[in-house]
Amino acid sequence: MSTEDRSPSPVSSAGERLIGELWRRGVGGAGPFDSARAVAEDHLAACEGDVEAAVRKLVGTHVRLAASSGFLTSFGGATTMLVTAPAGVTGLYLLGTRMVAAIAHVRGHDLTSPVTRTAVLLCLLGPDGPELAERTGLDLENASLLAGLRRLPPEVRAQLDRRAEYRLASRFGRRGALNLTKLLPVVGGPIGAGADALSARTIATYADVTFARTRS
């Protein structure tokens, strides 16, 4: 049994809580942070109903927001890293969750579906997502991720959710230290902005492939 399948553990419990908050706030919205549906509909309206233009605009908006978040949480260097890094990690994944869910909604996927939720989690992991899916038994050479997830028994999909939650919690536990140069005052700001923007664009790439144009 892999470490990710052991339950309960402090990391897996933290992962479950983290994902619960990301989903509640990233998809449902909180305060001035608009819900995934609202953002999706706003971008669709701005693009006069053009789905693919709306997706491109969604990605651009969230990459810019991620860059701003990365800059602000890295600017202070080592002196503020202990305070700001958790906020930065949460900010990146919060934006990522909303972006992926908004892309899914624009392309006609049901955000209340457990399958959609699992797919969103896997997109947040970037290249680790397909790897986890294949380890859980999905044949991604002959089927899309969504098609494979729909065929999984609920208990197996729940196991995949736990593995994804564990990976995300592990990343959060490392405090988002993507590069040691983020510890340098002032210099760390642009590097943090670039790192978070790149991470957001990577997440968007997997979301674009996962949530295909065909409505489910």
Give the phi and the psi of residue 117 in degrees, each rounded to 5: -60, -45
Query: What percent of the chain has a predicted confidence (pLDDT) above 70?
Result: 70
Other beta carbons within 10 Å of 189: 19
Distance of CA 5 to the CA centre of its chain: 21
> Is 216 inside a domain boundary?
no
- Residue 168 pLDDT > 50: yes
- Residue 122 pLDDT > 60: yes
Question: Count of domains in the chain?
Answer: 1
> Is 1 inside a domain boundary?
no
Q: Tokens 């602000």 identify what position?
A: 72
Other beta carbons within 10 Å of 215: 9
Long-range own/partner contacts, residues 23-32 (CB < 8 A, 24 or more apart)? 23/97, 23/117, 23/120, 25/94, 25/97, 26/93, 26/94, 26/95, 26/96, 26/97, 26/98, 26/101, 27/97, 27/98, 27/101, 27/111
The residue-averaged pLDDT of 178-200 equals 52
Give the Cα separation of 176 and 102 in Å (integer): 24
Q: Tokens 């340098």 identify what position?
A: 184
pLDDT-based confidence at residue 69 (cuts at 50, 70, 90): low
The residue-averaged pLDDT of 140-155 equals 89
Q: Say which residues have a Cβ less than 8 Å from residue 181's Cβ, sequence separation at least 6.
A: 187, 188, 191
Read off the pLDDT of residues 9-47 as tens digits, 9 standing for 90 and up. 555 566 677 778 888 888 998 888 899 999 999 999 999
- Determine what percent of the chain falls in helix, strand and coil, rounding each to the nearest 5: 75, 0, 25
| pTM of the model as a whole | 0.77
Per-residue model confidence (pLDDT) at position 193: 55
Residue range(s) defining the domain that contains residue 168: 6-210
> Is 73 inside a domain boundary?
yes
What is the greatest pairwise CA distance in the chain?
50
The residue-averaged pLDDT of 69-83 equals 39
Per-residue model confidence (pLDDT) at position 53: 97
Amino acid at 196: D
The pLDDT mean for the chain works out to: 77
Judged by average pLDDT, the poorest of 21-35, 81-95, 112-126, 161-175 is 81-95
Surface-to-core class of residue 95, CB atoms within 10 Å of its CB (0-12 exposed, 13-18 middle, 19+ buried) = buried
Q: Say which residues have a Cβ less than 8 Å from residue 67's Cβ, sequence separation at least 6.
A: 193, 194, 196, 197, 200
> Is 215 inside a domain boundary?
no
> Is 36 inside a domain boundary?
yes
The residue-averaged pLDDT of 157-166 equals 90
- Residue 181 pLDDT > 50: no
pLDDT-based confidence at residue 143 (cuts at 50, 70, 90): confident
